[in-house]
Amino acid sequence: MAARERGKTEKSSTGIIKAGLFVLLLCIALSIIMVVVQQDTYRSQVSKEFHQQHVSMGEYLNSLLMGYGQGLMNVAWTIGGHDEDSIQARIATTSELTALGHIYYINAMGELHEDGEDIEGGSEQMFEQLQELSYPKAAAYIGLAPSAVRLFTGSSMVIAAPVRTPDYGISSVVFSTIDIEGIFESDAFAYQTQKGQCLLVSDAGEIIAGAGGYRIVDMTDESFQLGLLEHSDKEGLSKRAVQDFNYGIAKKTNGFVTITTADGYRMQVSYSPLNGCDGLHFVSCFQDNLIDQSIKPLIFTSVLTCSIIIVVMIGALTLVWISAKSTNLTVERLAYEDPVTKGKNLNYFREFALNTMISNRETPFIIYRFDIANFRYINESYGHHRADMVLVSCIKNFERLFSERELCVRMDADQFLAVLINDSLLDKKMDEFTNAVNADARGNQIKYPIRFKYGIYPVKKHDHDIDVMIDHANVAKKTIKSDSKETKALYTERFVDDMRKVDHIESSMQKALAENEFKVYLQTKWDIIENKVTGAEALVRWVRPNGSVLGPEQFVPIFENNGFIEQLDFYTLESVCMRMREMMDDGIDVVPVSVNQSRLLLHSPDYVENVEKVLKQYNIPPGAIELEITESVFDNEKEDVIAIIRRLKMLGVRLSMDDFGTGYSSLNMLTEVPFDVIKIDGEYFARSAESEQERMVLGKIVEIIKDLGMEVVCEGVESEAQVEYLKTTGCRTVQGYYFSIPVPEPEFITRYLKKNE
Ligand code: C2E
Ligand code: MG
Ligand code: MG
């Protein structure tokens, strides 16, 4: 049962742990998914943010270039239609006013002026280049939509505007250079340049200008795309990204692509067309690890949060595990520990004994099932606490004296069970054990000697069922009568038969009582001087429905063991009183009848009151009923018994001490206990006749009893010689087969009693 409970608790706690682990793993998985999803979300957010920034700057660059173009157009318009000198003067003035750098002017003769000053010959190369572009055409084109005209290698861009004649012809051209890299390096582009690189790239991928602390592509690279690929891991996805980039700029849209760099980082490349400069694109490359760096704090927070949750969960799980473990230990303790002695209990014993026997097959084992004689008395006299100390002492001393392969447990109350090695040292060890427990008891001021009653079963080789072995030892123990001086009983097969009989008797006793199967027989008490009946003893017989008659020796000890004797004795007393009342009412001269009272009755609550009730109910005159109390009740609890006897006497009943001579009661007791009659036990009497000395002792005892004013009845008188002998001792009342065997009541009445005339 307890083992099952333990199993249940273990199962439920491992269930909790499993569920906890499952939840933990789920949490870890969810955390990982969450971090990955968050990482992606953050990444795309950061990417968008970067791109947005790029687009804004692209628009800014566009408007800046458009502004420069417009400025130059205004200059061209202002000087159009003026003479050469006036033009030079106006350019000189205007160049100071516009945001443009130097303003160059080339007249129809091809002479180059810078900010209104002649530059001798300096224009040749430039002019040639302009010529190549067919400058009037180019200038017209530029004038309509200022556009990049790459005249210089490096970072500058030339913008030009046609100077028109009043009739809308082109007379000359003004142009200016814009330092793109200078623009990129201005504060406005700090965001881009600090985070990576910003570039001006043509449709064909040529890098026109670039700036930024972190160089991703080199200005010397053949094309931007090649530089990008060079920087990437060159894997499929990166190649695809470069293709997307090509596609994007071909379509003149804005967008961004992500490539994985050779170092394994992700780099974002945003591109947008410069509407005012056809064929040019503003490109921002954001540093390789920038995105990862930007999201790092956010991811760190997420990972930290998840880690905290997981750590808390692991902590909670550990707590659950620890508490489950301690619950298991508690359950195990409850399952295997005896609460009183703190030793092991029967559950543990079963497992231990069996395992020990299996693993030590060659060792002879023996089972001892024992209890403490009169433990109830110890309990009542010295209190539960000290009585419990005796129990604890049993376990402690056993553990001290016996080996690890032996075990003693308390089953309940004062019932113990031990498995021992059946060797030559066993008896000696058991003696030591008893002595040690007694020494402890004396140390606890318990003066009552501790005696054990052992039922013993030597384990056989083929035995395998521990419960059967325990039962055998128990059967053996049950054969020791509670009042017997025997302390040991070894199991024999005969016990099984006896047990069956006991079972049979116990299962039918209640019904037998209800159906009046218990019959009162009466045996005469004979006055050997006057040779007449002076009384009778009620002796119970069990007359079975099949007519068989069981004598009290067959069932009284069993009833004394199971307590049923209390009911039976009271039933006997009541039926004797009832019959006596009937006889008295019928005018029959009754004789005093003695009724045997079991020791258990004396301890039954309300015993005296119940006797009184019956006597009153049947109006029994004083002295008509005698109660026989066996001598052995005085072995213990003498004071209590004497008190009860005194109270019974007050009710007017006679009291006799039965079986005198069988116990160890001292003659002193005769003075202490106020008996009316002392009944000398039949067997003791028979033994006394054997030697002169014994006869003398018996004679003296009879004399003392009589001197103390008590009556003597001698039981078991079977011969005339015994009668004659008793006459010489002065004992005049006898009981025995010589005069009459116990007979059924009706027979007794007809044979020995007569009606009043
Ligand atoms: P006891 O009270 O000592 O009864 C005397 C026993 O001696 C009776 O045995 C009786 O039959 C037997 N006896 C009488 N004369 C002789 C004789 O000359 N020779 C021999 N050998 N025996 C003789 P019984 O009736 O078998 O009862 C045995 C015991 O059972 C009684 O001993 C008494 O202790 C107990 N008993 C009998 N009836 C009751 C009862 O109703 N209640 C209780 N508690 N015990 C009872
Ligand atoms: Mg008797
Ligand atoms: Mg007797």
Taking residues 504-531, report their average pLDDT.
97
Q: Is the pLDDT of residue 126 over 60?
A: no
Please indicate whether residue 551, judged by its CB atom, sits closer than 6 Å to ligand 1: yes
Rounded Cα distance between 706 and 315, Å, is 89
Please, are residues 16 and 324 in contact by the beta-carbon 8 Å criterion?
yes
Q: Is the pLDDT of residue 436 over 50?
A: yes
Please indicate whether residue 557, judged by its CB atom, sits closer than 6 Å to ligand 1: no
Alpha carbon nearest to ligand 1 atom 4, residue: 539
Please indicate whether residue 152, judged by its CB atom, sits closer than 6 Å to ligand 1: no
Please tell me which of 15-29, 182-196, 487-501, 724-738 the model is most confident about, judged by mean pLDDT.
Answer: 724-738
User: Which has more confidence, 41 or 727?
Assistant: 727
Atom of ligand 1 nearest to the CA of 598: 44
Burial, 284: exposed, middle or buried (Cβ in 10 Å; 0-12, 13-18, 19+)?
buried
Pairing mode of beta strands 117-118, 593-597: unpaired
Please, are residues 91 and 103 in contact by the beta-carbon 8 Å criterion?
yes
Atom of ligand 1 nearest to the CA of 520: 41
Residue to mutate (ligand 1; options 537, 539, 575; most atoms within 8 A of CB): 539
Q: Is the pLDDT of residue 597 over 90?
A: yes
Alpha carbon nearest to ligand 1 atom 3, residue: 659
Cα(630) to ligand 1 centroid in Å equals 11
Out of 34-48, 119-133, 712-726, which region has the weakest mean confidence (pLDDT)? 119-133
Alpha carbon nearest to ligand 1 atom 5, residue: 715
Instruction: Find all residues with CB under 8 Å of 513, minimum gap 6, and list them.
Output: 567, 568, 571
pLDDT attached to residue 84: 79
What share of the chain in percent tops pLDDT 70? 90
Rounded Cα distance between 116 and 561, Å, is 143
Out of 151-160, 324-333, 336-345, 587-596, which region has the weakest mean confidence (pLDDT)? 151-160
Out of 161-165, 168-172, 407-411, 429-433, which region has the weakest mean confidence (pLDDT)? 168-172
Choose among 440, 435, 433, 429: nearest CA to 416: 433
Pairing mode of beta strands 677-680, 654-660: parallel
pLDDT attached to residue 665: 66
Q: What is the pLDDT of residues 636-663, one digit of tens each?
A: 677 888 899 999 999 999 999 999 988 7
Choose among 400, 386, 733, 438: nearest CA to 591: 733
Query: b or e along 720-746 (b: 16 or more beta carbons within 10 Å of the residue's beta carbon)?
Result: eebbebbeebebbbbbbebbbebbebe
What is the token pair recorded at 574? 């009541």
Third-level CATH fold of 516-543+567-752: TIM Barrel (3.20.20)
Q: Which residues pair with 453 in a beta bridge?
A: 371
Instruction: Supply the mean pLDDT for the chain.
Output: 85
Nearest ligand for residue 735 CA? 1
What is the token pair recorded at 242? 């470069």
Taking residues 57-85, report their average pLDDT.
83
Q: Is the pLDDT of residue 400 over 60?
A: yes
Cα(625) to ligand 2 centroid in Å equals 13
Residue to mutate (ligand 1; options 715, 719, 735, 743; most atoms within 8 A of CB): 715
Taking residues 110-117, report their average pLDDT.
72
Q: Is the pLDDT of residue 745 over 70?
A: yes
Confidence label for 130 from pLDDT (cuts 50, 70 and 90): low
Q: What is the pLDDT of residues 603-619, one digit of tens each?
A: 888 999 999 999 999 99
Alpha carbon nearest to ligand 1 atom 23, residue: 716
Cα(70) to ligand 2 centroid in Å equals 146
Q: Is the pLDDT of residue 123 over 70?
A: no
Instruction: Find all residues with CB under 8 Å of 237, minimum gap 6, and list them.
Output: 259, 260
Confidence label for 202 from pLDDT (cuts 50, 70 and 90): confident
Q: Is the pLDDT of residue 388 over 90?
A: yes
Please, are residues 373 and 452 in contact by the beta-carbon 8 Å criterion?
yes
Cα(525) to ligand 1 centroid in Å equals 13
Taking residues 217-237, report their average pLDDT.
83
Choose among 307, 290, 315: nearest CA to 35: 307
User: Which has more confidence, 609 or 237?
Assistant: 609
Alpha carbon nearest to ligand 1 atom 15, residue: 736
Rounded Cα distance between 484 and 434, Å, is 18
User: Which has more confidence, 115 or 131?
Assistant: 115
Atom of ligand 1 nearest to the CA of 630: 34
Q: Is the pLDDT of residue 425 over 90?
A: yes
Q: Is the pLDDT of residue 134 over 70?
A: no
Domain 346-492 belongs to what architecture? 2-Layer Sandwich (3.30)
Cα(538) to ligand 1 centroid in Å equals 9
Nearest ligand for residue 660 CA? 3
Confidence label for 147 from pLDDT (cuts 50, 70 and 90): very low
pTM: 0.51
pLDDT attached to residue 546: 94
Confidence label for 114 from pLDDT (cuts 50, 70 and 90): confident
Choose among 598, 651, 649: nearest CA to 628: 598
Cα(684) to ligand 2 centroid in Å equals 14
Cα(661) to ligand 3 centroid in Å equals 10
User: Which has more confidence, 256 or 41?
Assistant: 256
Rounded Cα distance between 652 and 570, Å, is 17
pLDDT attached to residue 97: 66
pLDDT attached to residue 330: 78
Please indicate whether residue 572, judged by its CB atom, sits closer than 6 Å to ligand 1: yes
pLDDT attached to residue 124: 55
Please tell me which of 147-151, 231-235, 446-450 the model is most confident about, judged by mean pLDDT.
Answer: 446-450
Taking residues 503-525, report their average pLDDT.
97
Q: Is the pLDDT of residue 374 over 80?
A: yes
Q: Which residues surround ligand 2, an ion (CB under 5 A)?
A: 596, 628, 658
pLDDT attached to residue 1: 41
DSSP 200-255: EEETT--EEEEE-SS-SS-TTSS-HHHHHHHHB---HHHHHHHHHHHHHHHHT--E
Please indicate whether residue 735, judged by its CB atom, sits closer than 6 Å to ligand 1: yes
Residue to mutate (ligand 1; options 570, 596, 733; most atoms within 8 A of CB): 596
Question: CATH top-level class for 184-293?
Answer: alpha beta
pLDDT attached to residue 115: 76
What residue spans of 515-637 are helical by DSSP H? 552-562, 565-585, 599-602, 607-617
